[in-house]
Structure 1
Amino acid sequence: MWKRELVQTDRGVFEVFRKGKGTPLCVTHYYSTFNESGDYFADVFTKSHSVILINLRESGYSEQAKEPHQLSFIETVLDIEGIRQALGYEKWSFAGHSTGGMLGLVYGIHFSESLVYTIIVGAAARDYQTFSVNCIYYNQHPLFETMQTLLQVVADPTRTEEEKESFKIERTKLSLYQPSNYLSYFNKSIRKRINPIRLAFLSREMTVFDLTRKLSLIEIPSLIVCGEHDVQCPVEYSIEMAEAIVASKLVIFEKSNHYPFLEEAEKFEQEVHTFIREVNLTGQPKIQL
């Protein structure tokens, strides 16, 4: 179980969960609500880090949004930076999966001086829904309607928790390279939830989301990871990020979809360990040309 605490910052009170020992690593996701049961992605890093898992504004017992703009990417990053300062860390690292990775990019662009490195998994630096035929959120994708229906059910407050959980599983299977392995991947008693308020605001944010021309401002080492078959944030977006971020290392997992840290867990841990070792030794990752 993760240890819960409330952190008082200049921007309000935020709920965080801690686990592990080692150097500090911040983990969060744009529209998830966490609890003491933790998170599959965050769990990967607890063997080597003191992980701080954050409930963002409007999630759990964290500060509520008084104005809609407080849910934006930049305001969220300002909240995260406020938490770092309140915890007394001169620097920490950041790891984010999917929309958590998108937050990591914004964080790196504006606060590289607060970070040692970032680990960005299955993410994108711009709107991945409107233009990519490989994205399941693209309106011409063959599974678009299926995914939209499942998302609506999971976010529907009138549905029972049992119904939501059943549809959530089906939604997740759409993003696995081998859906039949679902139970072997998701085998812990983790009970995180989708935050419908933040998920709704994400649709608004995505209409203007484009960081591609600012990626060169990220001045710290970045590990960019993606599954070759990712249907949420297709691999071309990770390639694009790696080409633009100077001190970046790209690793593509050939037998993964959107969850390489579960689908190829051993390889994922090895790549993270190698990346961190290279950064500690030289200050930057070894780029494979």
Structure 2
Amino acid sequence: MTTHQVVLSDGATLHVKVLGDNSPTKPLLIALHGAPGLSTHTEPEATFAFLATKFRVIVYDARGSGISDLKPPYTNERWIADVDEIRAWAGAEKFVLVGGSYGGFLSLDYALAFQHRLLALILRDTWAWGTRGMMNALKVSLTSDRIKVDPDRQTRMWTGILYDDQDYANAVAEMSALFQSPGIDPAQRKYSDPEALGETPQIHAATQNAAFSYNMPRFDVRSRLKDIMVPTLVIVGRHDLITPVAYSEEITNGIPNSQLAIFEKSGHNPGNDEPEAFQQRVLEFLSSARLL
């Protein structure tokens, strides 16, 4: 594993990790994290390190997240441009793109803008319509009997009007149980989920505010899913309340060359809840796409 500080065309520096050896003979896989301003490369690193013997696996903190530069704009357009700059930095013409949760939104946008760069697409627990998704997440956080939250604070988080970093940390902490599956013993999970505020001390409310006040109301790719022609694997946990199964079914029905994998014991991250089954299913997909 090697760590790099990659300077982009606008001067922003991203904290990037290359897992395994960086042989140019290996196909490239870039895995994007979720939760802008909260999640970091930690989750995709833990989830996809198993592929490092077969791929050059790149994970990184997106701009505005982790220890990468806090340099706006925090727009989907800028974030997908950053993905393509990381691809170019790695020296690959084509690659496999993986996105979980908010990283799935960016992966869909990337596929529609730069489809000629993709070998395959893997989407984990995500949605295709921002307004419905964020309103559902707010509804669940306010009505679930699994948690007790401050309604005003949750409204601030899901509409992108958080007061400050502490407000963001408090909002995530009080609803973290919604990311978990009730069928999985926390002690059996592969790692502590960064989106549940376990491993991420760098909290950036400004990034979250931009994502959910500006990007999400404008994000709706439902009518364009049919234009994505690359092999696609859509993964979702049966017990995911934030991005429920129906959202992944909608994506799978829309993308012509897609497969749906539902993990019956999992919540928001099957790679964490059912790691062995998850890894096997990803390998099967990559093999079917003739990438192994």
**After TM superposition, is the score higher than 0.5?**
yes
State the match for 2:30 in structure 1.
26
Contact 1:9 1:82 in 2 (8 A): yes
Matched ranges for 1:33-44 at <5 A: 38-44=41-47
Which amino acid is the alignment partner of residue 57 of structure 2? V
Pick aligned residue for 1:84 from 75, 80, 87: 87
Which amino acid is the alignment partner of residue 46 of structure 2? D
State the match for 2:207 in structure 1.
198
Structure 2: gaps spanning 5 or more residues: none
Question: How far is the alpha carbon of 1:10 from its aligned partner?
Answer: 2.3
Q: Structure 1 residues 97, 271: CA separation in 2 closer, same or farther (over 3 Å shift)?
A: same
State the match for 1:142 in structure 2.
143
Question: How far is the alpha carbon of 1:259 from its aligned partner?
Answer: 1.5
Q: Cα deviations across residues 134-153 of structure 1 (Å, max 9, x unaligned)?
A: x4422785138628657979
Tell me, in whole angstroms, the C-alpha distance in 1 between the residues paired with 2:95 and 2:116. Answer: 10
Q: Are 2:72 and 1:53 aligned?
A: no
RMSD: 3.3
Q: Structure 1 residues 138, 208: CA separation in 2 closer, same or farther (over 3 Å shift)?
A: farther
Tell me, in whole angstroms, the C-alpha distance in 2 between the residues paired with 1:25 and 1:198. Answer: 25
User: Which secondary structure state, in structure 1, belongs to the residue aligned with residue 138 of structure 2?
Assistant: coil
Q: Are 2:222 and 1:223 aligned?
A: no
User: Which secondary structure state, in structure 1, belongs to the residue aligned with residue 281 of structure 2?
Assistant: helix
State the match for 1:182 in structure 2.
186
Contact 1:32 1:55 in 2 (8 A): no
Report the identity percentage. Answer: 25
Q: Are 2:124 and 1:114 aligned?
A: no
Question: How far is the alpha carbon of 1:212 from its aligned partner?
Answer: 0.6
State the match for 1:10 in structure 2.
9
Tell me, in whole angstroms, the C-alpha distance in 1 between the residues paired with 2:267 and 2:193. Answer: 22
Pick aligned residue for 1:259 from 237, 260, 269: 269
User: Which secondary structure state, in structure 2, belongs to the residue aligned with residue 231 of structure 1?
Assistant: coil
Matched ranges for 1:210-249 at <5 A: 210-249=220-259
Q: Cα deviations across residues 92-127 of structure 1 (Å, max 9, x unaligned)?
A: 211111001111111111111111111100000112
Contact 1:155 1:194 in 2 (8 A): no
Which amino acid is the alignment partner of residue 273 of structure 2? E
Contact 1:93 1:117 in 2 (8 A): yes
Question: How far is the alpha carbon of 1:214 from its aligned partner?
Answer: 1.2
State the match for 1:171 in structure 2.
175
Contact 1:16 1:54 in 2 (8 A): yes
Tell me, in whole angstroms, the C-alpha distance in 1 between the residues paired with 2:97 and 2:269. Answer: 18
Q: Structure 1 residues 61, 222: CA separation in 2 closer, same or farther (over 3 Å shift)?
A: same
Which amino acid is the alignment partner of residue 178 of structure 2? L
Tell me, in whole angstroms, the C-alpha distance in 2 between the residues paired with 1:82 and 1:170. Answer: 36
Which amino acid is the alignment partner of residue 116 of structure 1? L
User: Which secondary structure state, in structure 1, belongs to the residue aligned with residue 121 of structure 2?
Assistant: strand
User: Which secondary structure state, in structure 2, belongs to the residue aligned with residue 124 of structure 1?
Assistant: coil
Tell me, in whole angstroms, the C-alpha distance in 2 between the residues paired with 1:188 and 1:170. Answer: 16
Contact 1:231 1:257 in 2 (8 A): yes
Q: Structure 1 residues 224, 128: CA separation in 2 closer, same or farther (over 3 Å shift)?
A: farther
Q: Cα deviations across residues 195-217 of structure 1 (Å, max 9, x unaligned)?
A: 32211112112122101111122
Tell me, in whole angstroms, the C-alpha distance in 1 between the residues paired with 2:86 and 2:92. Answer: 9
Structure 1: gaps spanning 5 or more residues: 283-289
Tell me, in whole angstroms, the C-alpha distance in 2 between the residues paired with 1:264 and 1:60. Answer: 26
Contact 2:193 2:272 in 1 (8 A): no
Moved over 6 A (4+): 150-155
User: Which secondary structure state, in structure 1, belongs to the residue aligned with residue 3 of structure 2?
Assistant: strand
Which amino acid is the alignment partner of residue 124 of structure 2? V
Paired residue total: 270
Tell me, in whole angstroms, the C-alpha distance in 2 between the residues paired with 1:169 and 1:269. Answer: 28
Q: Structure 1 residues 157, 72: CA separation in 2 closer, same or farther (over 3 Å shift)?
A: closer
User: Which secondary structure state, in structure 2, belongs to the residue aligned with residue 10 of structure 1?
Assistant: coil
State the match for 2:284 in structure 1.
274
State the match for 2:106 in structure 1.
103
Contact 2:142 2:149 in 1 (8 A): no
Which amino acid is the alignment partner of residue 10 of structure 1? S
Tell me, in whole angstroms, the C-alpha distance in 2 between the residues paired with 1:189 and 1:141. Answer: 21
Q: Cα deviations across residues 173-219 of structure 1 (Å, max 9, x unaligned)?
A: 22222276223315469733443221111211212210111112212
